[in-house]
Structure 1
């Protein structure tokens, strides 16, 4: 049976406990075991993590990763353990850590006030296959992204909603990539637990992406 390591904490506005509880419950329903840590003390011995886990799920908006833990996490993913997550818990974690950002394939930089926007599925990848475009009322993440990402979904960000822009931007919203031997999945959706409950597509995409990333 595959096993996930969930590391949660950081800014509480993204409800790391509530969102990971929802995702972990669905992963368990699909046969994946989940170990949940409310700290990063587990990021100490890469060999043990590589032996025990198939995917790491960070849910830690902002904050700082302890000295040494960054190199442990990078080594674990390069060795083939997957990395998967959503919204700020993965895409806005450890802002000063560029090694982590390179692994994720992007970093949050701005969002307009809450608004309705459309998520456009642009791939027939199994992670998003059959879901179709859908609208949500939530945060729209503007991110700096790695051009090597395999983008699965996008949205349009306009100067009207984010005045710093000078033109409409097609913003990647969901992607997957490789980091060494590890598979990486990221979804910018899932601002809080209400998003996962109100828009079942968000939960389905997150769970499917995690299952794909698991080695």
Structure 2
């Protein structure tokens, strides 16, 4: 049986417990043995981490020790997959640059806060996005600093009319991507500000498929 670890914590505004519950249930439906914890000390347990197929980090605006970060990154490099969303993976530890290197991006702004915007599927052949149309979100539109080595599957375009940042008008920003960290697969989606964002079928499907792709 495949094993998955979900770790949650940090800023409560991102509903980490409820959002984690959505995907814990999904993974159990896929016959994963799922462990859910609210501590980062689990990253110090090397034998347990190496036994996993997938790690789902759900932490925002928190801190991580060098030892915890090393344990996580080494496990991924060894072949354990990692998949996450929004600020719970893309704005977890602002002072941990190697963690950000692994993710492939870091949140820097969401002009206008909660707005209507379009997600454009740019790769219609990848199994994560195959068959999905462009779709609308009413949530935070993430402006991120991203790694050019990411394999981008979906994007969004900023209008420049929100957040007093007219200079970003027309900027095309990655929303969904995948990449590698050593032997491990890394998947990220900037969708999912709160658990109800996954009521959008496309946002939910992308995250579910991304987890299965990342898992070894």
Secondary structure at the aligned position of 2:130 is classed as: coil
Give deviations 1:31-68, integer Å, cap 9, x for gaps: 22211001112111323311x21111100011001231
Matching of residues 199-214 of structure 1 within 5 Å: 199-214=200-215
Secondary structure at the aligned position of 1:68 is classed as: helix
Matching of residues 7-86 of structure 1 within 5 Å: 7-50=7-50, 52-86=51-85
Residues 136 and 144 of structure 1: CA distance in aligned 2, closer, same or farther (over 3 Å): same
Whether the 8 Å contact between 1:23 and 1:203 is mirrored in structure 2 is no
Q: Which runs of 5+ in 1 are unaligned?
A: none
Give deviations 1:73-122, integer Å, cap 9, x for gaps: 11001101011100010000001100000000000000022111111001
Shift of 1:202: 1.3
Shift of 1:165: 4.9
Q: Distance in 2 between matches of 1:94 and 1:182?
A: 20
Q: Distance in 2 between matches of 1:162 and 1:174?
A: 23
TM-score of the aligned structures, taking structure 1 as reference length: 0.96
Shift of 1:157: 1.2
Secondary structure at the aligned position of 1:49 is classed as: helix
Secondary structure at the aligned position of 1:43 is classed as: helix
Q: 1:181 aligns with which of 180, 183, 200?
A: 183
TM-score of the aligned structures, taking structure 2 as reference length: 0.95
Q: Distance in 1 between matches of 2:33 and 2:43?
A: 18
| Runs of at least 4 residues off by over 4 Å | none
Q: Distance in 1 between matches of 2:193 and 2:210?
A: 17
RMSD over aligned Cα, in angstroms? 1.1
Q: Distance in 1 between matches of 2:177 and 2:58?
A: 17
How many aligned residue pairs are there?
213
Q: Distance in 2 between matches of 1:28 and 1:162?
A: 40
Asked if 1:125 is matched to 2:162, the reply is no
Aligned counterpart, 1:134 = 135
Q: Which runs of 5+ in 2 are unaligned?
A: none
Q: Distance in 2 between matches of 1:62 and 1:46?
A: 25
Whether the 8 Å contact between 1:54 and 1:81 is mirrored in structure 2 is yes
